[in-house]
Structure 1
Amino acid sequence: MGSLKVTLCAGAAVAAALAPIAPAAHAADGGGVSVSPSAPVPGGDVRLRVSDCTEKTAVAVSAAFVSDVKLSLSRSDGALVGAGSVRSTLEAGAYAVRITCGDAARESTVTVGERRRPAAHSSPVAPVDAGGGGAARLAVDGTREEARPEPPGTAHTVTGLVLAGIAAVAVALRSVRSRSRGTG
């Protein structure tokens, strides 16, 4: 029995050690500043939260942000909150964030993660070129080629002459029949 307990405890310890650790939803430093997600990607959005600020508004400035992030008072918990966007041209790394809250300034960092590769789409995002005629090309690139009629060729000329001959024979036969009825 003793070895069974040891085996179970060892298995549980190994499972706990190898279990994937979920990333934190907020990364906070000692100054009461939190960033969500904790490691935004270039071009992604971030939410900032600053606690223990007596002002009703504040501004967060960082080279990582597209523009300054304006923070305003949250009615739910009294913290200052705001949202911004991370520059799409950034390389992964830590970037300083300076929050001006009244006369006080707080320093924090935002850690920008690696740029993600886009996932494959589960359904087509553009028309499938499946022989849809002229409409498929129009839908794909938005251009429309003007149809230019081809001049009649030899096949058209021969077909026209054959049809004209048949029509002439039909008129001649009808004319002969009507004369034969009228004279008779």
Structure 2
Amino acid sequence: MGSLRLTFRTALLAATALAALATPAAHAADGAGVAVTPSSPAPGTDIALRVSGCAARTGTAVSAAFVADVRLTGAEGTLVGETRVRTELRAGSYDVQVTCGDTAHRTAVTVVQEPSPHTSPVAPVPAGGGGTAHLAAVDARGAGPGTAQAVTGLVLAGVAAAAVVLRRVRRSRGTD
């Protein structure tokens, strides 16, 4: 599971870097560049932040839109980090306070409301079933064991009972 998480984060950071090269970053009022990928996230979406123009190697980004503060790390004036947008948010603009070193930058993130897909299936999922799939489609409420299965079960139960009785008789006589 750890390697999957690492792969996801690496891909997210690579996508952030490519998106930052392809599109201009949103700039805070004081000139620092802050890029959010995706640019207009929906509630519950994982996002990545890229901040340029910071002299420090670490920083934080704080917003009411985030489930947790974003820990930003990097070098050469560019810091990156990731978080998730709160699932209960409504569409709108939310302030983001970015702090790196002794400086603070303000920007905003725009959360969009998308129609959420169903969180659980609304119909049976065709998941296969191999050779038993046709049995699942048959109504089995009235179908029980037939006469042959009932007789076989009774014979086996009688043999088992006779074996138990025979074993007890042998133990009580002392011959084993």
The equivalent of 2:159 in structure 1 is: none
**What are the superposed Cα offsets for residues 106-147 of structure 1, whole Å, 9 maximum, x if unpaired?**
11111101224439xxxx98236998255x59xxxxxxx9xx
Q: In the TM superposition, what are the counterparts of 1:154-173 in structure 2 within 5 Å?
A: none
What is the SS of the residue equivalent to 1:132? helix
Distance (Å, rounded) in 2 between the aligned partners of 1:51 and 1:115: 29
Q: In the TM superposition, what are the counterparts of 1:131-170 in structure 2 within 5 Å?
A: 132-133=133-134, 136=136, 150=145, 152=147
The equivalent of 1:96 in structure 2 is: 95
Instruction: Report the Cα offset of residue 78 of structure 1.
Output: 3.4
What is the SS of the residue equivalent to 2:133? coil
Instruction: Report the Cα offset of residue 39 of structure 1.
Output: 0.8
Whether 1:60 aligns to 2:47 is no
Distance (Å, rounded) in 2 between the aligned partners of 1:81 and 1:116: 29
The equivalent of 2:40 in structure 1 is: 39
Distance (Å, rounded) in 2 between the aligned partners of 1:95 and 1:105: 16
Instruction: Report the Cα offset of residue 81 of structure 1.
Output: 1.0
**Against the structure 1 CA distance between its residues 118 and 85, is the aligned structure 2 distance closer, same or farther, given a 3 Å change threshold?**
same
Distance (Å, rounded) in 2 between the aligned partners of 1:49 and 1:108: 12
**What's the TM-score, normalizing by structure 2?**
0.52
Q: In the TM superposition, what are the counterparts of 1:118-133 in structure 2 within 5 Å?
A: 118=117, 126-127=125-126, 132-133=133-134
**What are the superposed Cα offsets for residues 34-93 of structure 1, whole Å, 9 maximum, x if unpaired?**
22222111111222122221111001111101111110014xx53111111111111100
5+ long unaligned stretches in structure 2: 1-22, 152-176
Larger radius of gyration: 1
**What are the superposed Cα offsets for residues 13-43 of structure 1, whole Å, 9 maximum, x if unpaired?**
xxxxxxxxxxx67433333222222211111
What is the SS of the residue equivalent to 2:106? strand
Distance (Å, rounded) in 1 between the aligned partners of 2:52 and 2:125: 46
**Against the structure 1 CA distance between its residues 36 and 127, is the aligned structure 2 distance closer, same or farther, given a 3 Å change threshold?**
same
**Against the structure 1 CA distance between its residues 68 and 89, is the aligned structure 2 distance closer, same or farther, given a 3 Å change threshold?**
same
Q: In the TM superposition, what are the counterparts of 1:104-123 in structure 2 within 5 Å?
A: 104-118=103-117
Q: How well do the aligned residues superpose, as a CA RMSD in angstroms?
A: 3.7
